[in-house]
Structure formats: C-alpha cells, structure tokens
Amino acid sequence: MSDWIVPNFYKAPENSLFDKEFDYYVSLGHRCCVGQALNYMRKSSFPFDWQITDINVLPDIFKNEFSNFYPDSGVDFAHVIYYPDENGNESNRINHEETNKIYSRRSNRLVKLLKENERRLLLYRHKYVWYWSKAEGNNDRQRDMNPIEYDIEKLIEVSDILKNQYNNDKFDIIYVYQDICEFEQLPYDLNGDVSYDDLELPDGQTQIEQAKKFTYVEQLGFKHHNITPVIVKPGKVRVEGNAMCSCINNFLNLTDLQDFELPYGFEKKVLSRNIDIE
C-alpha cells in the first residue's frame, strides 16, 4: 500500500477484499490497462497480460486448462514475436513458434499455481470502455460492453471451474467497472465515432491525479463466488482504465513471496513490442 491519497474509497465493512493479502496478481483483461496498472506489482508474467480478452472466452480457456491457448483460444494477441528482416529490424511476419513458447510458459505457470493451491491469487478483470465510439450497437471497438450481469455470470463460471476442476480455494476475483451515466454526449459522426481531436485525454499522470478524486465502492453479493465487484464513479471525467486501477491497487496488499524469476522491471529481456519472456 502506498501513500496515495484517494479520499473517496469505500471498502466493505466486513470480509473486505482489501483486508486480505495476496501472493500474486493475475490479469484477466479486458485489455492492457490491468497489466499497465499492475506493472510494478506483478511478480511474474501470466497469459492475459497485454492482450485483448473478451470475457465470454474465459470459462472455456480455464476449463481447457489453456490447451492451445495460442493462437486458438479466442484471445486477440496484441503482442507477438516477429521475425527480423534482412536488416535486423522487426518484420511483419509472426514467429508463431517463439510466440507459442512464451504463452505456453505463462499458461503453465498459472495452471501450476492454481492446481497447487498454495498461493493466494487475485484475478483482476477491468471492464473497458472505448470512449471514441458509441457504447450501443454492434461496434467492434466496444467489445467489452456486455451488461454487467453477463460479465458476472461469466466470472461465476470461471470461479466454479477453479473451485471444482482445479480444487482451488485460495483465489479471489476483482471486477472493476465504471458508472458512465453522467458522461456528457460527444459529437459522434454518422458511424458512431468521435475523433481524437474532439476527445483528447490528458497525459497519464494527469489522468491518475483525476482518478484519485473519483469515488470507488466495494460491492457485496458475490463473495460466495469469490468475486468482488468495485464500481468506479468518475462523474463526467473520462480517464483510461489503468488510472482507475492504479488508484484501486493502492488499497491492495501484496506479500513479498516470490516463486519465479523476477519479471520485467527487474531482469528485463526484450524481444519485441514490450514482451517480457520470463
């Protein structure tokens, strides 16, 4: 826990997720926001870091124990390894063999932790809102705009699989989402999009300072499924998800336990596109 001041953070009066300690934080997506927010709190890399993961694919991935995770799980792999060109620069040809090695290693690490059932894991899902398109309609950029109830149902499926198939009782799932009802209407075009000129977010540090003023509420009702929703109330202010998640992370408790080789930020091995291969 840091010395950040986030005055409008309300945790549950009892059985709060934020009174527990966790050995590892594991991103469940939707996008890279969680990985960015956890970057210096992650003690190892896991399969969903930096990817785009629709929530409907999560239950099958865990049920199949990450078999054929890359490239056939339905995850949009935003970070892959590319062959070099004749000048040693990154080409456009994906090196599927090396990419598969990375995601197999990350998947096996997570499955091992879950099945051993010795470490406390916090699985972290953030509901992503793409501000530059309308939330309604069949818009591919708004891939995470299912109803909250649908997301919870999918996370309950994941929770049941972890309990019954992996025999794990040492995990929790945090589900972070925004109340966007106060957002002002944007000047969308006929395609339902708005330009970056019409909606330009401030720099990352400014977004974090704005997010510190938001209201955060830990919700009850799904503790028996090991699921804790946290609703973020930003008012009319739009920031990226990593700013909000960073404020929430201020209240999480991480142990010093370390089972794996230290990740990016400590011992850095760069291949391409910011992939950490440990």
Q: Does the pLDDT of residue 53 top 80, yes or no?
A: yes
State pLDDT tens for residues 60-88: 999 999 999 999 999 999 888 889 888 88
The pLDDT of residue 152: 97
Inside any domain, residue 198? yes
Inside any domain, residue 271? no
Inside any domain, residue 25? yes
Q: Does the pLDDT of residue 275 top 90, yes or no?
A: no
DSSP states of the chain: ------TTEE--SSS-GGGS-BSEEEE--SSTHHHHHTTTT-SS--TTTTSB--GGGHHHHHHTTTTTHHHHSS-B-----EEE-TTSSEEEEE-HHHHHHHHHHHHHHHHHHHHHT-S-EEEEEE----TTB-SSSS-GGGTT-S-HHHHHHHHHHHHHHHHHTS---SEEEEEEEE--TTPPPP---TTSB--TTTS----HHHHHHHHTTSEEEE--S-GGGTEEEEEEE-TT----HHHHHHHHHTT--B-----S---TTTS--B-STT-B--
Inside any domain, residue 257? no
State pLDDT tens for residues 94-106: 999 989 998 999 9
Q: Does the pLDDT of residue 273 top 90, yes or no?
A: no
State pLDDT tens for residues 210-223: 999 999 999 998 99
Range of the domain at 41: 9-249
Inside any domain, residue 269? no
Q: Does the pLDDT of residue 227 top 80, yes or no?
A: yes
The more confident residue out of 277 and 155 is 155
Inside any domain, residue 1? no
State pLDDT tens for residues 110-126: 999 999 999 999 999 99
- Per-residue pLDDT band for 5 (boundaries 50, 70, 90) equals confident
State pLDDT tens for residues 124-159: 999 988 888 876 655 666 677 889 999 999 999 999
Inside any domain, residue 179? yes
Arithmetic mean of pLDDT, 185-211 = 90
Inside any domain, residue 264? no
Arithmetic mean of pLDDT, 157-178 = 97
Mean pLDDT of the chain: 87
State pLDDT tens for residues 25-41: 999 988 777 777 676 67
- What is the tally of structural domains in the chain? 1
